[in-house]
Structure 1
């Protein structure tokens, strides 16, 4: 839920990759297919909340959630609802814009959601909830990196942006090279490399979603169990 890159390929296709930085004791299941109201989705499940941090559905939509908003926040002991469950609500919602505007975020921990929708043309929307206000932004179709505010200082984010800019300038932007970036960038800085390890929190998995035509391919690597899962969601 803490490092995400988005690479648009054309008016309909893209690559989105997410490194999940989490308490290594927090278990998650490999990606699988789930249905809600007759709509199929594909996502790994957080076994504590039953939600997810990344997924794709037959709504022609991808949702990816990062912890935190613009700045590091003070956590409360409890919140009304898990952000992973909100991710599922957004993933399966019939009307995206109305849901983004009207969804009840009262007593929800701050988060950043990246939503990629391709019902007409490729669209990338960022929803940021800072605990008081929601900020909804349609992003330009440009490659972008996000780093979670609770874990990464502005200086760390800036250095990570430099790694990403260098990668874009010197690499072919395909699924293989992006996955390699998510495994190796900043490897000499263990506490804030793209794969990070601070003991109590570390990168536990990498998930990559690549949309190609009417298919979305999911590549999931559990770094805890050293297992790779490959799935495909076929869209009409």
Structure 2
């Protein structure tokens, strides 16, 4: 299916494990520069303290943390690009907030009905005890929810990147891993902020006629300290 540039985009995401149940989760928001965003700040949602950048249009978010000791990140699309069938029942960014604030995120996701919700991929990091990494993929028909091994990973939204583009980006990420045996927020931000890995349309900090990387958000947990870095390019 050809890519539909009328639909909302985002994003490029990497996960890096750190010692002592730490991690770095970094997301490039690949979006129209016209879509307004409020930089990260704290909110009280359903009685739970959360921190996230807010999408002004839909009121949701694509990445955030909560006092429940979890981080959540959203990518538009599932395994393949899809054709939109508007209207949809709920913004996927609202689902992110619901997962952040649920009493038990795994139970919430397992019970979550997704009929008439646009396809998406959602990453859940639970660090309440030992670090756990989960992936939820909704392809429009079936909900795929499973725990992943805590190994370095990269995701690219199917709404924006073809399989060939994803393969190129996977190669760049693997090359970066070979050159960086110790992970830090600074060096992964360099990877996400790179404008020269390939063609401008495909590199990690990408730029196309209507879509570009408008921001990078990186959540890190180092020992007991959870931090969020936000780079705004607009």
- TM-score scaled by structure 1? 0.92
* Match 1:105 to one of 97, 103, 114: 114
Shift in Å, 1:11:
4.0
**Other-structure match for 1:227:** none
Q: How many residues align?
A: 224
**Other-structure match for 2:194:** 184
Shift in Å, 1:12:
1.6
Post-superposition Cα deviations, 1:54-76, rounded to whole Å, max 9, x if no partner, equal 00000100000000000000012
CA–CA separation in structure 2 for the residues paired with 1:186 and 1:80: 39
CA–CA separation in structure 1 for the residues paired with 2:79 and 2:39: 30
CA–CA separation in structure 2 for the residues paired with 1:150 and 1:30: 24
Q: Are 2:195 and 2:206, in contact at CA under 8 Å, matched by a contact in 1?
A: no
Instruction: Please identify runs of 4+ aligned residues in structure 1 that moved more than 2 A.
Output: 185-188
Post-superposition Cα deviations, 1:172-218, rounded to whole Å, max 9, x if no partner, equal 32111100000116544101111111121111100011112332111
> Following superposition of structure 1 onto structure 2, how do residues 39-118 of structure 1 map, counting pairs within 5 Å?
39-118=48-127
Q: Are 1:111 and 1:129, in contact at CA under 8 Å, matched by a contact in 2?
A: yes
Uncovered stretches (5+) of structure 2, i.e. residues with no partner: 1-9
* Match 2:222 to one of 212, 224, 228: 212
CA–CA separation in structure 2 for the residues paired with 1:221 and 1:137: 31
CA–CA separation in structure 2 for the residues paired with 1:189 and 1:68: 22
- TM-score scaled by structure 2? 0.93
Higher mean displacement: 207-216 or 134-143: 207-216
CA–CA separation in structure 2 for the residues paired with 1:215 and 1:194: 27
Structure 1 position 10 matched with structure 2 position 10: no
> Following superposition of structure 1 onto structure 2, how do residues 194-233 of structure 1 map, counting pairs within 5 Å?
194-224=204-234
Tell me the secondary structure at the aligned position of residue 184 of structure 1: coil
**Other-structure match for 1:162:** 171
